[in-house]
Amino acid sequence: MSGYRLATGGLIDRARKVNFRFDGKSYTGFAGDTLASAMLASGVKLFGRSFKYHRPRGVFASGSEEPNALVELRTGAYREPNTRATTVEIFDGLEASSQNRGFSLKYDPLSVNNLLSPFLAAGFYYKTFMWPSGFWEKIYEPMIRRASGLGRNSGLPDPDVYEKITEFCDVLIIGGGADGCKAALDAAAKGQRVILCDENPPLAKLDLPESISFFSRTTVFGVYDGGTYAALERLNDHLPSSNAPRQRLIRIVARRSVLATGALERPITFGDNDRPGVMLSRAVGDYISRYGVSPGRNILLYINNDDAASLISTLYTAGVNIAALVDARPGSSSAVYDAACAASTPVYEGAAIIRAIGRWGVKGAKLRLSGGDEISIPCDIIATSGGFNPNLALTSHFDGEPIWDTGIAAFIPGKTPPCMEVIGKAAGHGLNANIQPCFHSGFFPGKSFLDLQNDVTVRDVNLAELEGFTSMEHLKRYTTLGMATDQGKTANVNAIGLLAKTLGRQIGEIGTTRYRPPYVPVAIGALAGAHTGKHFRPTRFTPTHEWAKAQGAVFVETGAWLRAQYFPRLGEDWLQAAQREVDAVRNAVGICDVTTLGKIEIQGPDAAKFLECVYTNSWENLPCGKVRYGLMLREDGMVMDDGTTARLGETHFIMTTTTVNAGRVMQHLEFCAQVLWKHLDVSLVSVTDQWGQIAVAGPQSIATLAKIVDFPFDLSDMSFPYMACGELTICGGVPARLFRISFSGERAYELAVPARYTHALVEKLMEAGAEYGITPYGTEALGIMRIEKGHVAGPELNGQTTAHDLGLHKLLSKKKDFIGRAMASRPALKDPKRQSLVGLRSVNRQDIICAGSHLLPLGVAATAVNDQGHVTSAARSPTFGSIALALLEHGPERHGETIRVYDPVRGGDLEAIVTAPVQYDPEGKRLHA
């Protein structure tokens, strides 16, 4: 035997050596080793420090239930804390390190916590750090967080790549052991589509038919409604970092499922049972049979059931000495006794381990024999088996309560999720032969740990019981028992057994805490998948995006869209560019891509009636070929959205919505059409992406358009006045829709073409308008002009404003039902004291009004009580200087008043004159200029 690696055996590939590092030191293992098995093979016992008391800890288990051996993997941004060394497959170059320790694993100043433990008992947070209260946030909490806790987050963005997929099957088999494989083959033989998930790497080559999709390294961690399961596949965790997806979240939709997750061993609790070298007996067997590693050379067994019989022969065959068999049962069973005799192992029946000897690793065990004598036996591993718990966590994800089975002294599944069958050991079959329950040895000179991961001792549970926390759910929250990465997989049942004994009640009466998803820790990155950063939602580009880019546009996000914000010329800043663009529109002509506004086709004999229902104003009297401004409320009377709607024909309307609300309005209209007024014959379809739309604004807009519209379309004011619309062709046959509407306040048109023509259209328009100085403008110029004109937009339609607040109450029809009519009539919503729309203009031209500033009367203190409103949108108008739209108490009555504009966030404090919302061309003469 070299080190602790056995000469033969195991499912590892001894021809392939693997080099890795732990805490900076180099180690070698074999392909197929876990970090735990490779380090055990190298003789390492100390893996980490415990959560609260910083006690030295080693490996306890061999699978995902491991409570102790938590390590950090990889380095820098790739660092992953709290990984169980028992599930980490090693690869060349793997960097792992211990966590929750001081200078080194061996010298940890915080192990003084072990001596302070009388102050760190259950609930100590709530008792010790109560006062002075101001100390909690600044001193106590940061101190406790530093001292306790598990590993460290890297603090950097996660550079790993994750994926999400969905799979469908007739049967999902959870667990790839013998029972699971048999169930999979049976289902496949019946012609069913099968998915088989197993948590472990594929050690043995499985020969499965094609109808079975086998996912190894895949843990099913949650059961959800409608036969949906969540699983995490560790695609590349066993390989060096690369750009390939690290983990994959699989959403599995299955008609039925079979739970074949086996059982997890629980220990027997005794004094100092957390020392490195105290392990589950099945784990000792696993390290020998799977990895050819014996965790020790002189192993002592402490059991209360027959499972150890096979371990005895395994150890004997492998040539590992068995120090003794300590059987908690008064009389050992023949299965175990005979195996021990065959291995020439001394057997102590009816005995108990009082405590483990050895601080850094087990050196022996102190026993109390059945007669009361105490002896010490040297050993380097104490392998303990208190029986097996069916691994039933997934059965309680639908609120199923596990049931205590006294025959096998274990919880078995109660009500399972719909269409889930539990088989084999997970159902409690073939478990715990001849078990005599023994949750703790009963003698506690030192600390006896129930929950190794959370440092919860027998004394903590007793204390919690004394303080009245006698329900398991309370006990869990008070002591933290069963929390963190292992979720008490090896801890809970012993604690329940102890509590039952203390209370003099049956375990079945006390019950267990309900298991919730996830069964194992899942990285948030895996849940997010590829939907991170800019990939969270698609970016939508306007059809003229490439053209605008070529013009040097700067872009801004509006909703999901990227729009041109301004088109700077050499040496211009954003303000100079935007003001130049405004000047061009006011004096010549400008063009702007307005495709992002929502466009909804509304057709059908009842289309006009339908608009009467959803808009506050009237529509049936709108003539064909005309456009009207419409206001839409929510049913609670608040303004939802606004826009223009054009009547192209008797039964054909085109509605526009604001950019941001396009989706919401569509959903709302569908509700109105399909649910509220389903007798109306009307059809809706969103055509936002199908039609590109360009605003052509300014006095020269008509001259520009005249060059591209096809004969015989007549642009003259007589035949196509303000608020006219029509269908036409342009540029020699391209179908188009033209709307004479204006957001800028100038004579303006919006020209819509099938989206694929939009890029060509802007080029044509630039050519046609060149002689008039045509200028592309962006959202900044658009914003300045709409504020000058007092048009409301997103900041004013904030979900808290009414039609009265915005000065749009004349649009509330008194003759018909419409969405929001009843609620909008509430007197409080019409109260003149409400903050209503006004314009503002700074008194000193150099003062800049900022959006978000508060409005106060002159000469009062800047307090919330005196606050009378706020600035919703602000602009730097080339005509008026700093102007704004604002919501102000008694707004319409206060035009001409000077008020204080107070902006504590940016240090602004200035005076402004209240004006009407429309500051530019209030009579609207320029719309016809």
Partner 1 sequence: MRIICPHCGERGLEEFTYTRDAECTRPIDGGAKLTKEWEDYVYFRDNLKGPRKEYWYHSAGCHAWIKMEREMSTHEIISVTPP
Q: Which residues 717-756 are close enough to bind partner 1 by CB under 8 A? A: none
Of the candidate residues 227, 390, 402, 917, the single one contacting partner 1 (CB under 8 A): 227
Residue number with CB closer to partner 1 (657 or 742):
657
Residue 253 binds partner 1, judged by CB under 8 A: yes
CA-CA distance, 67 to 495, in Å (whole number)? Answer: 15
Beta bridge partners of 95: 21
Residue 15 burial (CB count, 10 A): 7
- Radius of gyration over alpha carbons of the chain, in Å? 38
Residue 635 binds partner 1, judged by CB under 8 A: yes
Token pair for residue 506?
């049956």
From residue 325, give the alpha-carbon distance in Å to each of 288, 309, 348, 538. Answer: 18, 10, 6, 64
Of the candidate residues 228, 719, 798, 844, the single one contacting partner 1 (CB under 8 A): 228
Residue 678 binds partner 1, judged by CB under 8 A: yes
Residue 30 binds partner 1, judged by CB under 8 A: no
CB 298 within 8 A of CB 323: yes
Tell me how far, at minimum, the Cβ of 584 lies from partner 1, in Å.
41
Tell me how far, at minimum, the Cβ of 725 lies from partner 1, in Å.
26
Tell me how far, at minimum, the Cβ of 224 lies from partner 1, in Å.
7
From residue 678, give the alpha-carbon distance in Å to each of 458, 673, 824, 862. Answer: 67, 5, 24, 53
Residue number with CB closer to partner 1 (226 or 733):
226
Residue number with CB closer to partner 1 (255 or 569):
255
Residue 620 binds partner 1, judged by CB under 8 A: no
CA-CA distance, 99 to 97, in Å (whole number)? Answer: 6
CB 710 within 8 A of CB 727: no
From residue 497, give the alpha-carbon distance in Å to each of 228, 399, 478. Answer: 34, 22, 17
CA-CA distance, 250 to 174, in Å (whole number)? Answer: 13
Tell me how far, at minimum, the Cβ of 259 lies from partner 1, in Å.
19
Tell me how far, at minimum, the Cβ of 419 lies from partner 1, in Å.
12
Tell me how far, at minimum, the Cβ of 536 lies from partner 1, in Å.
15
Residue number with CB closer to partner 1 (477 or 664):
664
CA atoms 855, 858, 863, 866: torsion sign: negative
Of the candidate residues 155, 226, 468, 733, the single one contacting partner 1 (CB under 8 A): 226
317-333 burial, b at 16+ Cβ within 10 Å, e below that, comes to ebebbbbbbbbbbeebb
Of the candidate residues 667, 683, 690, 844, the single one contacting partner 1 (CB under 8 A): 667
Residue 825 binds partner 1, judged by CB under 8 A: yes
CA-CA distance, 689 to 456, in Å (whole number)? Answer: 60
Residue 615 binds partner 1, judged by CB under 8 A: no
Residue 214 binds partner 1, judged by CB under 8 A: no
Tell me how far, at minimum, the Cβ of 819 lies from partner 1, in Å.
9
Of the candidate residues 21, 238, 251, 429, the single one contacting partner 1 (CB under 8 A): 251
Tell me how far, at minimum, the Cβ of 252 lies from partner 1, in Å.
12
Size of the residue set binding partner 1 (CB under 8 A): 28
Interface segment toward partner 1; rule CB under 8 A; list 134-142, 356-364, 565-573, 817-825: 817-825
Interface segment toward partner 1; rule CB under 8 A; list 180-188, 760-768, 771-779, 814-822: 814-822
Do strands 410-412 and 70-73 pair parallel, antiparallel, or not at all (unpaired)?
A: unpaired
Interface segment toward partner 1; rule CB under 8 A; list 130-138, 223-231, 290-298, 834-842: 223-231
Q: Which amino acid is at 650?
A: E
Of the candidate residues 137, 210, 225, 923, the single one contacting partner 1 (CB under 8 A): 225
Q: Which residues 154-173 are close enough to bind partner 1 by CB under 8 A? A: 166
| Region for residue 760 given its phi and psi (left: phi exceeds 0; alpha: psi -120 to 50; beta: otherwise) | alpha
From residue 806, give the alpha-carbon distance in Å to each of 344, 545, 582, 798. Answer: 94, 33, 25, 11
Residue number with CB closer to partner 1 (503 or 676):
676
Biggest CA pair distance of the chain? 117
Q: Closest Cα to residue 216, out of 92, 89, 96?
A: 89
CA atoms 190, 192, 197, 201: torsion sign: positive
Residue 182 binds partner 1, judged by CB under 8 A: no
Tell me how far, at minimum, the Cβ of 560 lies from partner 1, in Å.
14
CB 440 within 8 A of CB 427: no
CB 5 within 8 A of CB 14: no
Residue 23 binds partner 1, judged by CB under 8 A: no
Residue 670 binds partner 1, judged by CB under 8 A: yes
Q: Which residues 512-551 are close enough to bind partner 1 by CB under 8 A? A: none
Cis peptide before 712 (omega within 30 of 0): yes
Tell me how far, at minimum, the Cβ of 22 lies from partner 1, in Å.
42
Interface segment toward partner 1; rule CB under 8 A; list 17-25, 44-52, 221-229, 335-343: 221-229
Interface segment toward partner 1; rule CB under 8 A; list 288-296, 507-515, 815-823, 880-888: 815-823
Token pair for residue 620?
């049936």
Q: Closest Cα to residue 840, out of 827, 854, 859?
A: 854
Beta bridge partners of 192: none
End-to-end CA gap in the chain? 100
Token pair for residue 866?
């005196």
Residue 822 binds partner 1, judged by CB under 8 A: yes
Residue number with CB closer to partner 1 (251 or 549):
251
Tell me how far, at minimum, the Cβ of 223 lies from partner 1, in Å.
12
Residue 7 binds partner 1, judged by CB under 8 A: no
Three-state DSSP state, 134 = coil
Interface segment toward partner 1; rule CB under 8 A; list 323-331, 674-682, 758-766, 778-786: 674-682
Quick note: the x/- pattern for partner 1 over 392-421, rule CB under 8 A, is ------x-----------------------
Tell me how far, at minimum, the Cβ of 67 lies from partner 1, in Å.
33
Tell me how far, at minimum, the Cβ of 539 lies from partner 1, in Å.
18
Residue 153 binds partner 1, judged by CB under 8 A: no
Residue 224 binds partner 1, judged by CB under 8 A: yes
Token pair for residue 75?
């380095």
Of the candidate residues 21, 816, 830, 890, the single one contacting partner 1 (CB under 8 A): 816
Residues found in the chain? 929
Tell me how far, at minimum, the Cβ of 670 lies from partner 1, in Å.
6
CA-CA distance, 64 to 200, in Å (whole number)? Answer: 9
Of the candidate residues 404, 818, 880, 920, the single one contacting partner 1 (CB under 8 A): 818
| Residue 763: half-sphere exposure toward Cβ, Cα within 13 Å | 11
Q: Closest Cα to residue 105, out of 55, 154, 37?
A: 55
| Region for residue 220 given its phi and psi (left: phi exceeds 0; alpha: psi -120 to 50; beta: otherwise) | beta
Residue number with CB closer to partner 1 (609 or 816):
816
Tell me how far, at minimum, the Cβ of 332 lies from partner 1, in Å.
48
Residue 823 binds partner 1, judged by CB under 8 A: yes
Residue 671 binds partner 1, judged by CB under 8 A: yes
Tell me how far, at minimum, the Cβ of 682 lies from partner 1, in Å.
14
Tell me how far, at minimum, the Cβ of 168 lies from partner 1, in Å.
10
Tell me how far, at minimum, the Cβ of 532 lies from partner 1, in Å.
17
CB 327 within 8 A of CB 281: no
Residue 683 binds partner 1, judged by CB under 8 A: no
Token pair for residue 222?
């949650």
The residues, ordered by sequence, that sit 6+ positions from 810 with a Cβ below 8 Å of its Cβ are none
Q: Closest Cα to residue 444, out of 462, 433, 458, 456?
A: 458
Residues that bind partner 1 (CB under 8 A): 166, 224-228, 251, 253, 398, 635-636, 666-667, 670-671, 674-676, 678, 814, 816-818, 821-823, 825-826
